[in-house]
Amino acid sequence: MLQGSSILGHERPLVIRVSFPACVVATVCLPLLGLITCVFISSIFHYEDSTSTHCQVPNYLPSISASISLSPECHIWRFCIGLHSAPRILVAFTYFKFYKTRFSSRCPESSLCCFNLAFSICENLGLLLLTYVSSSETYFVHKEGFVLFIVSSLIHMLITCRLWKTIKKYSLSPEDAKSHHWKVRFLLFNVSFCAFAIFFYWKHNMYCESGSYTLFALFEYLVVFSNMAFHLTAVWDFKSREVMVISSSEDKDF
C-alpha cells in the first residue's frame, strides 16, 4: 500500500506499507518457485545431463545441485536466491529484536538469541555460496556451501524451537502455541529427511544401486521444502506487524 500527499506545495513522506506475513510468504515463495522451475526445466529439457551419475546406473530425478548448475536453470535460481536474501536478513534481525525484548532478563535465552541470529545469517550465506558457485564449476566450494547451509539451518531450527518452548510456556496466545507446535514438527521432518538423504547418498556411492540416487534426490527436495515450511511459521509470529519504507524529502536552503 502506498501513502503520500502534497499540501501547499510541500510533499509529505511517501510510505510503502506491506504486512509482515505477506513479506514472509513472498520471501519463501521465491526459492520455492525457483526450485520447482529449475527441476521442471531440467527434467524436461536436460534430462540426460541432470540425471547422469558417475556410476552410470538408472536415475529418474535430478538432484538439486544438478538442476541449478545448467543453463538457464542456474540463472533462474541465482535470481530467486539473490532477490530473497535481503528479506531473509531482515526477518533474521526482526526475530533477534523480538527475542531480545522477550528474554531481556533471562540469561540462557538472551545468549541463545545471539547464536540464533549468527546461525541464521550463516544459513543464508551458505545458501548464497552453493547458489553462486555451482557443482560443475567448483565442486569443493559448492559442497562446503551446502554443508554450511545444512548445519547452520539445523542448529538455527533447534535454537528457535528451544526459544519458542519458553515463549509458549509463559504465553497465553494460541498463535504462539501453534507456532511452536509446527516449528517442532518441521524440525523433526527436516532431521528425518536429512538422515534418509545421507543414507541413500552413501548407499549410491558405496554400492551404485539403481534408484538410490533417485531416492537421495527425492529426500533432498523434502529437506529443502521442510526448511521453507519452518521459515513460513513466521507468518504466525508476526501476524500484526508491518514493513514500512519511508522516503522523506528534506528542504534544502542554498
DSSP per residue, 99-128: HHHHTTT-HHHHHHHHHHHHHHHHHHHHHH
Binned at pLDDT 50, 70 and 90, residue 172 comes out as: confident
Residue 242 covered by a domain: yes
Give a yes or no: residue 164 inside a domain: yes
Q: Does any domain span residue 200?
A: yes
Q: What's the mean pLDDT in 110-130?
A: 95
In this prediction, residue 162 has a pLDDT band, given cuts at 50, 70 and 90, of very high
Is 63 inside a domain boundary? yes
Q: Which residue has the higher pLDDT, 236 or 138?
A: 236
The larger pLDDT score, comparing residue 10 to residue 206, is at 206
Residue 37 grid coordinates: 522451475
* Reported confidence tier of residue 74, pLDDT bands at 50, 70, 90: very high
Q: How many domains does the chain have?
A: 1
Q: Has residue 5 been placed in a domain? A: no
Give yes or no for residue 209 having a pLDDT over 90. Answer: no
Residue 252's pLDDT is what?
A: 47
Select, from the ranges 5-19, 53-67, 149-163, the one with the highest average predicted confidence (pLDDT): 149-163
Asked, for residue 2, whether it belongs to a domain, the answer is no
The answer to whether residue 8 is domain-embedded is no
Query: In the structure, what pLDDT confidence band is assigned to residue 11 with cuts at 50, 70 and 90?
Result: low
Q: Which domain holds residue 50?
A: 14-246
Residue 251 lies in a domain: no
